[in-house]
Structure 1
Amino acid sequence: MTTRELRFSRAMIFAIEEINNSTELLPGIKLGYQIYDSCASVPVAVHVAFQISNGLDPVFYTGDNCSQSGMVMAVIGETGSTPSISISRIIGPFNIPQVSHFATCACLSNKQQYPSFFRTIPSDQFQADALAKLVKHFGWTWIGAVRSDSDYGNNGMASFLDAARKEGICVEYSESFYRTHPRSRFQKVADVIRRSTAMVVVAFAAFGDLRLLLEELSLEPSPPRQWIGSEAWVTDTELLRFSFCAGAIGFGIQKSVIPGLRDFLLDLSPSKVAASPVLTEFWEDAFNCRLRKSATTDERVCDGTEDIKTLQSPYTDTSQLRITNMVYKAVYAIAHAIHKAVCQKTNSTTQCDKFTRIESKEVLTQLKKVHFSRNGYDVSFDANGDPVARYEMVNWQKSETGSIEMVTVGQYDASLPVGQKFRINRNITWVDGGTQVRSTKAKQATM
């Protein structure tokens, strides 16, 4: 589990604990949970989905405190589209709702194939259209394209290429790769990029896949390239170390604020860490020590002086909460659906029957009608289980110290009329600080 994924899972726990302490949402009812790490593997995700579909989980049952021992009411996840598709095909026939925070493949909007699938992140259909308009807006008509060889990358790129053709954009090459491919594949794609005449590269790729390609490109200097990114990688701070990508621009999920989350993430005592294998792995990697002495290693034992507040890590970085908020909203959406199924409001008080035996199908029905606001962010789903598509345009800009920072330079709102969806409101820095693009520095550019 990456440190970013760890933050996602901890944000889920934070939201559940917040709800369990609430006097307004599900008062008197405690939500339980289990977290599985699929390691981005479809076979592992499928194995978990079958476990969930089998109903009762004896490990979950802790006594008379739970009226329904481990009957799964809903699933949050997956992070990727391909494992989400696999899970949805298994749990869908059992009417178990699934709410993903990061699976963006447009294919998942098909309710005939995925009737119980919802997501708090927009479908890639909107992003593909927005990326094509972005490329056209800056006058680029000759581009290269790379993608993850996955449902996310292949479907997203197909949608983008279709939209790009309609905008009169020509594509010099379109290459695919995946994290499990041999290094020779990444070398080939890197060579295609180096030899190409297209200065602009549009990358519809997952973070883990693109990182391997950028590492390959960093081994041998390439002519400057203007990178255009999809939301899966362009807002990932772990990639900012690739300085040759300075000037990259793309769409990201809106930044957000989750009050109290940072304190929760940093509230890790040695006893809490030791009680969790995942937290133990994170702690030992972060501080390069072992929580307990092993007979087979001479590595340093953690001595208690380790301070997570001093750690520079995607886990502790809450300055740009984007996908984390999608996790948070997914938890609240499910809680609201369960609330509607088991709670009744009489006069000014809300009564919830924690012994009501509800079926996941009821939660599924209520989820379709969910509409609420949390921390100023609206949550609702359309007939396809999709939210309203809103993005921030982000630009990788070099700071005065030479490091690369992620700067929000505009917005895209698919719900607005044509001509008003896209707004640029800050100066954009291009690759190498260059100005090869036609003038785009107007303070208010819209389309």
Structure 2
Amino acid sequence: MESIDSCLSGDLASPLTLKFVSTGEFGSSGSGERISTETGQREYIFGVVGGADDDVCKAVVEVLQVYMIPEISYKAGVAALSNAWNYPNFLRTVPPDTIQMAALIQVMAKLGWSYIQAIHIESTYGWDCTSVLRQQAPQAGICLTQYMKVRDPSSDDQIDEVLAKLAKRPLAKGIVIIGPVDLAVAVLRGIKRNSLEGKYYLIRSDTQGQEMLPDDVLDVARGTVTVSQRQRRAEQFVSHMTSLTPQSNTRNPWFDEYWMQKFQCVLLGQDANCSDSDRLKAEDIPINTVASVMDAVGAFAHALDELHKTLCYQSDKVCDSLSDLPGEEFIQKLKGLRFQSLAGDGKTVYFNYQGDDNGEFDLYNFVQDGDEYKYIQVGTYDRVKLLEMTNNITFYTSDGEVMASPPISDCIGPCDDCKAFKKAKVGEMLGGDIWIGGLFEMRKPGETLIDCSDDLVMYNIQLLEAFYFALDQVNADNTTLPDLKLGAVAFDTCGLVERGVRETTNFVTGGVEYRSNYPPSGFV
């Protein structure tokens, strides 16, 4: 086994990985061979465990893909790595970040919410999760009326600007927070600063579990629902870790440095002052991803065990059939595994066809019990059993009183603006057998994600006229579609993504009747 420090840098991980694999000889198989410079023995390279950072994993897997060597990450959550076409040799023992959104959506559906808003951190995680929320919430009958990004949670101005936009959708009281705990804290402080207690009810994704909130937001955080990846225990590992000392742990080249930082002492030299009585305690050991690391090692061990028993049944060594096994076959073996985790917590480890972990999440409700604030578990979620509620969710009024029933976050009318729909101004060419939709930016964006201002974009008038003119030319040409006539509807997107999506959906589905004979029998 060889450990490499990537320093959370994709730029550093690539050359280090290339150096690692370049020490071996690779044929057409997914494994390599090398002679150890320390022992002189033959060593085989079958895979890589790690890394933790998304960019590091992308950089590493692209290097390993040349030889189809599998990489199993224990922490990377970016959704793009689930693309088995682009990353066929990537697996992970954690779920992609976006699975949290499925759990959040089911919770909101359980609460009867149909009209929500979202605040997300500007990062790959934030955009990926928001994209899933936009796509899947409507399928559950939930309207995401607007979503806003926050670049810097520490900026009060940014938070206040976001809260001002939330106020333009007063019926959408359910707010989804997508980002780290500091974003949630910043929003809670903004709610308190702007005296908005009781106006909104928060449900948030979190990778840290039951992380305690600062004292100044405890009262406003009451009722918040958190969906976090299940915190797993690895008791045997904790016992192992607490038994280690710098003298006993010589295989980890970073352990001495860790020990000196932990106990604020010096191990060697004239200034050595570490105490022989210093010992790690169980509470000193965060184990959020420890079990996932052990699962990655377990996956390689079980796959190699099964293959060795099948291919090398007459040998207790790595036989040629195993060392020559194509990487694609080894990866398929990994994806077909089911085994009990080495963490000893009873989890059955397996991968889906994309190479992802199944994903298990816990739902917590932040409540007040007398003078104490605490998280209580109210449910679980995974992609097999889906949502299971174990307790009722408690919400609070602005005065801190427990609400008798969940707050209402309902939309009355079309999702776009939750009010009586007014037909949009469209440009039509009637009488067509086949209809073509046109999207043009006729006016400048307004104050919301779907509203236009009154300012006309002068140049774009001729773009729309060019659209009409081209249709006239086709309809006048007896050699092109001689028996059919083209009709058209031109929509004003105002340069807004959400409005463009809405108008396109309405055009294709005929969801909004702009004219008496629409939708036609055919459209393009």
Aligned to 1:110: 83
1:333–1:370 Cα contact (<8 Å) kept? yes
Structure 2, unaligned stretches of length 5 or more?
Answer: 25-32, 408-524
Identity %: 20
Q: 1:232 to 1:115 in 2, by over 3 A?
A: same
Aligned to 2:225: 249
* 1:136 positional shift: 3.2
Residue-by-residue CA offset, 1:179-234 (whole Å, 9 max, x unaligned)? xxxx58744443335544365442333x4xx437747976995444644232424x
2:36–2:42 Cα contact (<8 Å) kept? no
Within the alignment, does 1:353 sit opposite 2:317 as a pair?
yes
**TM-score when normalising by structure 2:** 0.61
Q: 1:220 to 1:377 in 2, by over 3 A?
A: closer
Aligned to 1:93: 66
Residue-by-residue CA offset, 1:32-62 (whole Å, 9 max, x unaligned)? 23142433x3323333333344244999742
2:359–2:383 Cα contact (<8 Å) kept? yes
Q: 1:90 to 1:401 in 2, by over 3 A?
A: farther
Residue-by-residue CA offset, 1:344-376 (whole Å, 9 max, x unaligned)? 599xx9963146562572532421322223343
* In 2: Cα distance, 1:51 partner to 1:188 partner: 47
* In 1: Cα distance, 2:190 partner to 2:406 partner: 33
Aligned to 1:445: none
SS, match of residue 207 in structure 2: helix
**TM-score when normalising by structure 1:** 0.70
Q: 1:424 to 1:237 in 2, by over 3 A?
A: same
* In 2: Cα distance, 1:254 partner to 1:221 partner: 30
* In 1: Cα distance, 2:373 partner to 2:278 partner: 26
Aligned to 1:373: 340
Equivalent positions of 1:9-408 (< 5 A) are 32-39=1-8, 41-56=9-24, 61-64=37-40, 66-68=41-43, 71-166=44-139, 167-177=141-151, 186-195=155-164, 196-197=166-167, 200-205=174-179, 207=180, 210-211=181-182, 214=185, 221-222=192-193, 223-224=196-197, 226-233=201-208, 235=209, 237=211, 243=218, 245-272=221-248, 276=252, 278-292=254-268, 301-309=273-281, 312-313=283-284, 316-317=285-286, 323-344=289-310, 352-354=316-318, 358=323, 361=327, 363-374=330-341, 375=344, 376-398=346-368, 402=372, 404-405=374-375, 407-408=376-377
SS, match of residue 384 in structure 1: coil
* 1:333 positional shift: 0.8
Aligned to 1:426: 391
Aligned to 2:516: none
1:138–1:437 Cα contact (<8 Å) kept? no
* In 1: Cα distance, 2:404 partner to 2:113 partner: 8
* In 1: Cα distance, 2:270 partner to 2:118 partner: 48
Residue identity in the other structure for 1:130: A
2:50–2:57 Cα contact (<8 Å) kept? yes
* 1:293 positional shift: 6.3
Residue-by-residue CA offset, 1:364-404 (whole Å, 9 max, x unaligned)? 24213222233432222232213334322233445667354
* 1:429 positional shift: 4.0
Greater radius of gyration (CA): 2
Residue identity in the other structure for 1:108: L
* In 2: Cα distance, 1:58 partner to 1:245 partner: 56
Higher RCO (Cα < 8 Å, 6 or more apart): 1
SS, match of residue 229 in structure 1: strand
SS, match of residue 77 in structure 2: coil
CA RMSD, Structure 1 to Structure 2 (Å): 3.9
* In 1: Cα distance, 2:370 partner to 2:363 partner: 22
1:252–1:392 Cα contact (<8 Å) kept? yes
Which has a greater percent of helix? 1
Aligned length: 379
2:246–2:259 Cα contact (<8 Å) kept? no
Residue identity in the other structure for 2:120: R
Higher mean Cα deviation, 105-114 or 212-221?
212-221
1:200–1:227 Cα contact (<8 Å) kept? yes
Residue identity in the other structure for 2:261: D
* 1:343 positional shift: 3.3
* In 1: Cα distance, 2:314 partner to 2:178 partner: 46
* In 1: Cα distance, 2:190 partner to 2:270 partner: 37
* 1:338 positional shift: 1.6
* In 2: Cα distance, 1:96 partner to 1:288 partner: 41
Q: 1:303 to 1:415 in 2, by over 3 A?
A: closer
